[in-house]
Amino acid sequence: MDKKKNVIQFLGKNHPLSNFYEAHFDIDGIVYPTVEHYYQSEKCINIQDKIKITITKEAKDAKRLGRKVKCRKDWNLVKKRVMWKALNAKFSQNIGLKEYLLNTGDCYLIEKNKYDEYWGIGGGGGKNIMGRLLILLRRKYKNECKL
């Protein structure tokens, strides 16, 4: 974990903060291998598409399949809540990852995705919603520890 200038950048299947990082978790009785699998499957209107995404081996394949499905009409309204639910499940059900997130201290977390202006930093001016959600989740866990 590189804490240069109080910033931690992450991207890819080998980084614990990434959606592509394999860390199995259960939501509603279904086990997902990555956050990306859950997120992409929640877009689907068709149950067969949802199953196909859920059981695909790699997160990159789940993302690819998710780009081809017919999306729910309310997707843009709910996608941030869907991501929050997945992140909370991933970190709360994998204690080592929860500790990793807490150990990022007060560092600013940045998804270093140069192609995504919403979830990542894009070309430099992106919203970094993924990093912000992880910071909020870290704060939630810190507050739980204080109780």
pLDDT tens figures, 89-133? 999 999 999 999 999 999 999 999 999 999 999 998 999 999 999
CB 2 within 8 A of CB 8: yes
pTM, rounded to two decimals: 0.93
Examine the pLDDT at 147 and tell me if it is beyond 90: no
The CATH number covering residue 8 comes to 1.10.357.40
The rounded mean pLDDT for the chain is 95
CB 35 within 8 A of CB 87: yes
pLDDT band at 1 (very low <50, low <70, confident <90, very high): low
Q: Is residue 119 part of a domain?
A: no
Q: Is residue 12 part of a domain?
A: yes
Q: Is residue 56 part of a domain?
A: yes
Q: Is residue 131 part of a domain?
A: no
Examine the pLDDT at 59 and tell me if it is beyond 70: yes
Residues 30-47 have a mean pLDDT of: 98
Secondary structure E strands in the chain: 7-10, 25-27, 30-32, 108-111
Predicted pLDDT at 5: 66
Q: Is residue 116 part of a domain?
A: no
Interatomic CA distance for residues 130 and 102, integer angstroms: 16
Q: Is residue 36 part of a domain?
A: yes
Q: Is residue 88 part of a domain?
A: yes
CB 120 within 8 A of CB 128: yes
Examine the pLDDT at 134 and tell me if it is beyond 80: yes
Per the structure, the complete domain to which residue 70 belongs is given by: 4-105
Domain count, the chain: 1
Predicted pLDDT at 4: 52
Q: Is residue 55 part of a domain?
A: yes
